[in-house]
Structure 1
Amino acid sequence: MTWQVLNPYDQECIGSVELVDWPQIDRWLDEARALHEDRQARLPAHERIAILQRASVLMRERAETLAMQIAREGGKPIIDARVETSRAIQSVELCIHELFASGGREIPMDLTQAGAGRKAYTFREPIGPVVAISAFNHPLNLIAHQVGPAVATGCPVLVKPAKDTPLSCKSFVEILYEAGLNEDWCRFVPCSDEVAEKMVTDPRTAFFSFIGSARVGWMLRSKLAPGTRLALEHGGAAPVIVDDSVAHAKVIPPLLKGGFYHSGQVCVSVQRVFVPRAELPDFAAELAAGAEALTVGDPTNAETQCGPLIRPAEVDRVESWVDAAVQGGGRLAAGGKRTGSTLYQPTVLVDPPDDADVSRKEVFGPVVCIYGYDDVDAAITQANALPYAFQAAVFTDRMSWADYCVEALAASAVMVNDHTAFRVDWMPFAGRRQSGLGTGGIGYTMADMSEEKMVVVNAPSSVR
């Protein structure tokens, strides 16, 4: 069996990958466990560093090819695909940096009489075979965030890409091979969902890294073998609180970027914006004008700012959610129409009903909702009312107001005067509640994929 890879813009086939069956994965899991258990087979840090350094060089040499591949298989505008490629290269280099910065620590023993005469220190060991399942929306950098740390920490890794975007993953794995990594340390594993579940829940899997839907992630977590560690990265419905002290000109541009970047197909995309009710008409008109000015179309064109959704069914879903919100009393300020099988206009909805899907669920499409508020505490309560909590944002010229909102918002990170989708690859990145479990970011993932071991030495101070 094969996966046919379609360009989401025109639905043309641009490639295919052969699916891997369970007997092959079963052999690879045996191989991965044996590699981990054979301490003589483990790659020393200097070899891992050299492999990652060579991989970084190869990626830089092929940066434009990698970016175009992202645009063609994932629909991300080429201007943003180039940024993703640059970030993926930096992610690999961050793995190297973390290896240089990593190390153990001394544990003081003589704090009580019981520990006197002893010395203790820690060091880290690879956790074991890693199974990674990734999402389509950042097909190269997400893979770098999952596979790079596994290679860096010395863990064998099996990686299953998203069905829609396997080519970038395949390219990254092949670059690692070309850089000197033996294939038994990293396996490209496109496979059916049933086979993937069997691989994830196998007791030989020591660590499970998942980026995707909450429904699938939490389901797989419930089936893990005893002892398997994991990290889950899901999505949310990111809230933004706007103060009446801040000029709209400081708010509209970042909201346009954070809401319509990759046509909203980002787990921390701006979705729910709360503005003072007196400012709602003007604010909505300005955001709508900005949305209507965005260029929608072929992601390989340099002028395109919003590309297609990943597949036609996603446009059907977004269209139905927006239509239902309008029928329920929400006002359409911009967009609200499909312009092709996978193209949907950047859309601004004003005061959609609280029980509408666009208000309660992650849209994962080019839709930003604006709500008027009379009291900031009421806005914060509404922002916190969902079972998701990831990144949030506050726009204000008053630091005291920002501090108040930062403390009150249910979020793992709050951006002040920036959009919710801001991220650099070394910062902690984590969802609360149903939005995830564990912390992403290169250094944090490397810590997850390794285990600290402590040594306590009974070392009397005198040899007499």
Structure 2
Amino acid sequence: MTWQVLNPYDQECIGSVDLVEWPLIDRWLDEARALHEDRRAWIPVHERIAILQRAGALMRERAETLAMQIAREGGKPLVDARAETSRAIQSVELCVHELFASGGRQIPMDLTEAGAGRRAYTFREPIGPVVAISAFNHPLNLIAHQVGPAVATGCPVLVKPAKDTPLSCKSFVEILYEAGLDEHWCRFVPCTNDVAEQMVTDPRTAFFSFIGSARVGWMLRSRLAPGTRVALEHGGAAPVIVDEGVSHENVIPSLLKGGFYHSGQVCVSVQRVFVPRAELPDFAAELAAGAEALRVGDPTEEETQCGPLIRPAEVDRVEAWVAAAVENGARLAAGGKRIGPTLYHPTVLVDPPRDAKVSREEVFGPVVCVYGYDSIDAAIAQANELPYSFQAAVFTERLQIADRCVERLSGSTVLVNDHTAFRVDWMPFAGRRHSGLGTGGVGYTMADMSPEKMVITKR
């Protein structure tokens, strides 16, 4: 069996990968467990550093090829695909940096009489075989975030890419091999969903890293073998509060980037914007004008700002959600139409019903909803009413409003005067509630994959 990889823009086949069946995965899991249990087989830290350094250098040499591959298989505009490639290289380099900075710590023992006469310290050990399942929207950098830390910490890793975007994952794994990593330590595992579930829930899996939908992530977590550790990264419906009197010139460009980057196919994409009711007509008109001006088309062209959705079925879904919102009272300020089978125009909806899907569920498409509010507290309450909690934002020139939003907005991160889709790869990145479990970011993932062991000596 094979996966045919289609260019999401023109639906032309650009490649294929052979699927891996369970008997081979079963053997690979046995190999991974054996590698972890045989300490003589562990790759010395200095060799892991050298492998990652060589991998980063190879990625730099092939940066334009990798970026074009991201654009062709994932539909991300080339300018953004180049930025993703640069971030993936930095993610690999961050793994090396974290290894230089990592280590154990001393634990004071004589804080009470019971501990007197003892010394204690910790050091880190690899947790064991890692199974990673990734998403389509950042097909190179997400893989770097999941596989790079496993290699760095000395964990054997099996990685299943998204069905739509396996080529970038395959390229990354092959670069690791070329850089000197023995293939037994990292396996490229495109497979069907039922085989993936068998791999994830196998008791030989020590750590499960998942990036994708909440429905799938929480289902798999419920079926993990006892003892398997897990990190889940899902999505949300990111809220942004705009305070009264803030210059729209400082807000609109940021929201256009945060809402329509990769056509909204980002887990922290700007989706719900709350604006003082008196300012709503002008604000919505300015945001709509910016959305209408965005260039939509072939992601491999330099001028393109918004590319296709990953599959035609996603265009159908977004079209249906927008149509339902308009039918039930939302005002369509921009967009609201498909451009052929694979593109959907950047869309701005004004005051859609609070029970509409565009208001309550993650759109994962080029749709930004704008709501009028009568008080900051009412805006915060509406922003917090969904079961998601990831990144939120506020635009304000008043310190007290910034402080109030930071304290009261539900989110693992609250950005002040910036959009919700901002991220750098060394910062903690975490969904709360339905939005995920655990903390992403290269250093945080490495810590999860290398738990501390403590030594206590009695004098």
SS at match of 1:353: coil
Amino acid across the alignment from 2:268: V
How much has 1:118 moved relative to structure 2? 1.1
Distance of 2:25 and 2:430 partners within structure 1: 30
Determine if the alignment matches structure 1 residue 369 to structure 2 residue 384: no
SS at match of 1:298: coil
Distance of 1:87 and 1:382 partners within structure 2: 34
Distance of 1:431 and 1:122 partners within structure 2: 29
How much has 1:245 moved relative to structure 2? 2.6
How much has 1:340 moved relative to structure 2? 1.2
What residue is the counterpart of 2:446 in the other structure? 446
What residue is the counterpart of 2:313 in the other structure? 313
Identical pairs, percent: 85
What residue is the counterpart of 2:153 in the other structure? 153
Amino acid across the alignment from 2:311: R
Determine if the alignment matches structure 1 residue 71 to structure 2 residue 90: no
Distance of 1:381 and 1:118 partners within structure 2: 51
Range moving further from structure 2, 373-382 or 110-119: 110-119
SS at match of 1:120: strand
What residue is the counterpart of 2:398 in the other structure? 398
What residue is the counterpart of 1:42 in the other structure? 42
How much has 1:109 moved relative to structure 2? 1.1
Alignment of 1:56-95 (within 5 A): 56-95=56-95
SS at match of 2:344: coil
What are the Cα deviations for residues 264-305 of structure 1, in whole angstroms up to 9, with x where unaligned? 000000000000000000000000000000000000000000
What residue is the counterpart of 1:384 in the other structure? 384
Distance of 1:41 and 1:154 partners within structure 2: 10
Amino acid across the alignment from 1:128: G
Amino acid across the alignment from 1:255: L
Distance of 1:322 and 1:397 partners within structure 2: 33
How much has 1:110 moved relative to structure 2? 1.2
How much has 1:376 moved relative to structure 2? 1.0
SS at match of 1:422: coil
Alignment of 1:51-450 (within 5 A): 51-450=51-450
Stretches of structure 1 lacking an aligned partner (at least 5 in a row) = 460-464
- How many matched pairs? 459
Given that 1:245 and 1:398 are in contact with CA atoms closer than 8 Å, whether structure 2 keeps it comes out as no
Amino acid across the alignment from 1:240: V
Range moving further from structure 2, 30-39 or 372-381: 372-381
TM-score by length of 2: 1.00
Amino acid across the alignment from 1:59: M
Amino acid across the alignment from 1:293: A
Given that 1:207 and 1:230 are in contact with CA atoms closer than 8 Å, whether structure 2 keeps it comes out as yes
Distance of 2:425 and 2:383 partners within structure 1: 26
How much has 1:451 moved relative to structure 2? 1.3
Runs of 4 or more, structure 1, over 4 Å off, are none
How much has 1:114 moved relative to structure 2? 1.5
Distance of 1:106 and 1:187 partners within structure 2: 36
Distance of 2:210 and 2:117 partners within structure 1: 45
Distance of 2:330 and 2:353 partners within structure 1: 6
Amino acid across the alignment from 2:26: D
What are the Cα deviations for residues 99-150 of structure 1, in whole angstroms up to 9, with x where unaligned? 0000100111111122111111000000000000000000000000000000
How much has 1:81 moved relative to structure 2? 0.1
SS at match of 2:339: coil
SS at match of 1:370: strand
How much has 1:68 moved relative to structure 2? 0.1
Distance of 1:396 and 1:246 partners within structure 2: 6
SS at match of 1:126: coil
Given that 1:236 and 1:390 are in contact with CA atoms closer than 8 Å, whether structure 2 keeps it comes out as yes
Distance of 2:266 and 2:4 partners within structure 1: 24
Amino acid across the alignment from 1:209: S
Given that 1:160 and 1:189 are in contact with CA atoms closer than 8 Å, whether structure 2 keeps it comes out as yes
Amino acid across the alignment from 1:45: V
What are the Cα deviations for residues 313-347 of structure 1, in whole angstroms up to 9, with x where unaligned? 00000000000000000000000000111100000
Range moving further from structure 2, 219-228 or 400-409: 400-409
What residue is the counterpart of 1:462 in the other structure? none
Alignment of 1:4-43 (within 5 A): 4-43=4-43
Distance of 1:340 and 1:83 partners within structure 2: 27
Distance of 1:305 and 1:375 partners within structure 2: 35
What are the Cα deviations for residues 12-41 of structure 1, in whole angstroms up to 9, with x where unaligned? 000000000000000000000000000000
What are the Cα deviations for residues 33-71 of structure 1, in whole angstroms up to 9, with x where unaligned? 000000000011000000000000000000000000000
